[in-house]
Copies of this chain bind each other. A is one copy, B any other.
């Protein structure tokens, strides 16, 4: 099996204490001794036993990234970008453990001994129970993607509200007055944020919000398709539709095309996220780019700072989202706004 510090100690003719100190850079060790020990360690391919270290330090050396769910509701591109970003920052200083919050039957498995820190990719308020658990267990954590808790909790969000506001304003600027929204999962915080950005923009333009211009969706392709069918069946059809993510927008696009409605000539359509596909469908989607990978990277950096006792920003950090205008939105071709 693999070598231990005791093996090294024996070969070097010193005690295991000396070896431990030498390898950990203690200033107490004579340079020559250290040199010798390091060489022997190299030679034996010594790798410290994480479990033993964890035991003595009371730290597990692993960090969890928790998603509300690993299944439906978490889009692939979002999941990928998140894990990639965090993984890049943590490198191999910590084990990155991926889990879905809804997979836990009992949060008690999540303890400070098992997770040194946690990144919570939180979509819904339902996750608050999990966050409370983390707090009780005194596990340092950063909430990503959702404004959560008070000033004491660090969270990193991307400008959902601002993005939705800018997008809606863009549509209004194009002359649209009948602007519908294809909603995401209603429990998700991002859904509410985007909704309020949409509403604020309407209000700022003196437009009222119409109940029938909201269609429910689930952030996936199928629900985008179905929701669009419902909107198209309305007696007074909207001239623009804001889909709360790109997946739904692609679904909506299909529904529109099948109904013989041209985008953007007959109807403007916009998405959210800029998930990669949005630039490639036809017409390319106007959308809002959300800096997901940056968000997860920043979250990981903040968590590291917390773990290492460095000063870490509390409260909410908001990374700006950016309106990306492409071909799926155009000037309103409707006969005035008389309605």
Report B-chain residues with C-beta under 8 Å of the C-beta of A83: 70, 79, 83, 98
Stretch at the interface among A25-33, A181-189, A195-203, A277-285: A277-285
Report B-chain residues with C-beta under 8 Å of the C-beta of A49: 55, 113
What's the least CB distance linking A297 to chain B, in Å?
13
What's the least CB distance linking A259 to chain B, in Å?
12
Which chain B residue has the least Cβ–Cβ distance from A56?
A: B51
Chain A stretch 78-99: residues in CB contact (< 8 A) with chain B: 79-81, 83-84, 87-88, 91-92, 95-99
In whole angstroms, what is the CA distance A72 to B53 when docked?
35
Task: Tell me if A313 counts as interface (CB < 8 A to partner B).
Answer: no
Report B-chain residues with C-beta under 8 Å of the C-beta of A99: 87, 92, 96
B113 touches A84 (CB 8 A): no
A62 touches B97 (CB 8 A): yes
Report B-chain residues with C-beta under 8 Å of the C-beta of A2: 111-113
Task: Tell me if A173 counts as interface (CB < 8 A to partner B).
Answer: no
What's the least CB distance linking A272 to chain B, in Å?
16
A108 touches B45 (CB 8 A): yes
Chain A stretch 91-142: residues in CB contact (< 8 A) with chain B: 91-92, 95-100, 103-104, 108-109, 111-114
Q: Quick one: which of A1, A280, A281 has the most chain B CB within 10 A?
A: A280
Chain A stretch 47-82: residues in CB contact (< 8 A) with chain B: 47, 49-52, 54-55, 58, 60, 62, 70-71, 74, 76-77, 79-81
- Given A45-B108, A70-B84, A95-B62, A281-B250 contact (CB < 8 Å): yes
B279 touches A257 (CB 8 A): no
Please report the total number of A residues contacting B with Cβ < 8 Å.
55
B92 touches A221 (CB 8 A): no
Task: Tell me if A276 counts as interface (CB < 8 A to partner B).
Answer: yes
Task: Tell me if A290 counts as interface (CB < 8 A to partner B).
Answer: no
What's the least CB distance linking A23 to chain B, in Å?
14
Q: Mask for A257-284, Cβ within 8 A of B = 1, else 0? A: 1000000000000000000110111101
A-B pairs with beta carbons under 8 Å apart, 13 shown: A52-B55, A76-B81, A79-B80, A80-B80, A88-B103, A91-B103, A92-B109, A95-B95, A96-B98, A97-B97, A221-B277, A253-B280, A277-B277
Q: Which 10 A-B pairs have CB atoms at the shortest separation, nearest pair first? A: A51-B54, A76-B80, A76-B76, A51-B55, A76-B77, A95-B97, A70-B84, A79-B80, A221-B280, A47-B111
